[in-house]
Amino acid sequence: MPDWIEVALRTLSAVTVLFIITKILGKRQISQLSLFEYITGITLGNLVGYISLDLDSTWYLGFVALAVWIVVSVGAEYFTMKSKKFRDIVDGKSTILVENGALIADNLRKEKLTVDEFLEQLRKKDVFRVADVEFAIMEQSGEINVMLKKEFQPLTADALGYRLMKEQEPKTIIIDGRILPDSLKETGFSESWVHKQLRDLHLPLKHVFIGQVDSKGELTVQTGSRALPNSAQPQPSAQISDLVAQFQDELTMRKKLAQNDKDQLQYQEALDTLNHAMSSYQSTKKP
């Protein structure tokens, strides 16, 4: 057999084996690698290169080495899942870099991390002042995670006391002009419903690039050049109701946080006035 054919066949075999190994070792091998997984990846790459290009008569021993590495890697993964001590040895431990707002210089030196590198990692987290950081930790993967001080954390609906409806994942039911039966079944709608929605949009199915159904049961469509339906402005009555609900939540939260009974009473009076005004408004809107 000519050498080039032999090399081609061995390369295909090695790639197939490497793909199977990656599937066996799991998705962590292609995401955040631990130190042991990093070493395993380098070694497997070298072994596959040896199997593909080495023309010695003993090239097949590379597969033996691959098999050994598979056994070692799978065994390491198993014991990592079962034993915290073994996991600490193989994957290492996380290191605290900032605690209670104070930078720990000794831990920076321990991780061979310069101040410039640390500041760079903070900037990647949209943090530009070390003084804003309450807690920072370097994970086993080398990534640095940051918790800001309370006063610098972004406001959330929960912090403001707002009540939000539960959001569900949109279901993609059309891709490249084809309806996906399994995804459509999860939405509870039928294909006839989809075709009716598309007729209302004056759009044939074959022109739909992506179609999704949201938690409200509304179909939104991307054609590759347009987004349908066009976003409509909410009705004034709906906007008023949303604003009143926000004010009610705000007053309720401030009442709970009030320092004394007098302040609580004032917030309650404002809340009662707002509720009365909203009731009067709604009664005038009724036919």
Instruction: Per-residue pLDDT tens, the chain, 287 aa: give them.
Output: 666 676 677 677 767 776 776 666 555 544 455 666 667 777 777 777 766 666 666 666 777 777 777 787 778 777 877 888 877 777 778 899 999 999 999 999 998 899 999 999 999 999 999 999 999 999 877 889 999 998 888 877 676 666 666 777 889 999 999 999 999 999 999 999 999 999 999 999 999 999 999 888 889 999 988 888 865 555 667 677 777 877 888 888 788 877 788 888 888 888 888 888 878 777 776 55
- What is the spatial distance between Cα 133 and Cα 127, in angstroms, rounded to a whole number? 8
Q: Is the peptide bond before 204 cis (omega within 30 degrees of 0)?
A: no
Q: What is the DSSP letter of 173?
A: E
Tell me what pLDDT residue 75 has.
80
Tokens representing 4?
């080039």
- Closest-CA residue to 25 (of 241, 252, 34, 8): 34
Instruction: Give the integer Cα–Cα distance in Å for 97 and 106.
Output: 9
- Check residue 192 and give its pLDDT: 93
What is the SS3 assignment for 172?
strand
Residue 283 pLDDT? 75
pLDDT of residue 23: 66
Angle 38-43-46 from CA coordinates, rounded to 5°: 130
Place of tokens 């014991």: 79
CB burial of 96-105 (b: ≥16 within 10 Å; e: otherwise) equals ebbeeeeeee
Give the pair of three-digit tokens for residue 190.
């039928």
Please give the sequence-ordered ranges of beta strands (E in DSSP) within 140-272, or none if there are none. Answer: 144-148, 171-175, 178-179, 210-213, 219-222, 227-228
Model pLDDT, residue 145? 93
- The per-type count for the chain, helices as H runs and strands as E runs, is 11, 9
Comparing CA positions, the residue from 154, 146, 150, 140 lying closest to residue 103 is: 146
